[in-house]
Amino acid sequence: MNHPDCLLAEISGFGRVYDCGDCGNIHVTVGPVSLTLTPDAYMQLVDLVNTSAANFETWLQESQSSSARNPQPEEGFHMNHDPEPDQMNRRWIDE
Ligand SMILES: [Zn+2]
């Protein structure tokens, strides 16, 4: 493997992004996967990942706050719920 001419970012044991200085493309390596992207395509990938990260964060916050806001539905409703069948029965009995 050739040494990167310009290492843009690296997370040890995970992956790295670099410009080899040869082909004019950006190389994105994550684990065993290696992508070679034109600078334009690389910026689109960055945009894609950024947008998904922001949406993922929003989704996490929403799912956390909604489960904190109503951990359980209110119980009181079930006690005198749906009295109609009982009233109909009484009306039948009274008649
Ligand atoms: Zn290259």
Identify how many contiguous H helices and E strands the chain contains and give both numbers. 2, 4
Stated length of the chain: 95
Q: Is residue 56 assigned to a domain?
A: yes
Please give the Cα distance from 22 to 28 (Å, whole number).
15
pLDDT in tens, 38-72: 999 999 999 999 999 999 999 999 999 887 766 66
Q: Is residue 89 assigned to a domain?
A: no
Tell me the pLDDT band of 89, cut-offs 50, 70 and 90: low
Residue 73 has what pLDDT? 61
Ligand 1 centroid, distance to 52 Cα (angstroms)? 26
Ligand 1 centroid, distance to 6 Cα (angstroms)? 10
Range of the domain at 11: 6-63
Q: Is residue 70 assigned to a domain?
A: no
Q: Is residue 86 assigned to a domain?
A: no
Ligand 1 centroid, distance to 73 Cα (angstroms)? 57
Q: Is residue 20 assigned to a domain?
A: yes
Please give the Cα distance from 76 to 93 (Å, whole number).
29
Largest CA distance in the chain: 96
In DSSP terms, which residues pair with 16 in a beta bridge? 10, 29
Ligand 1 centroid, distance to 2 Cα (angstroms)? 10
State yes or no: pLDDT of 81 exceeds 60.
no
Q: Does pTM top 0.85 for this prediction?
A: no
Ligand 1 centroid, distance to 9 Cα (angstroms)? 15
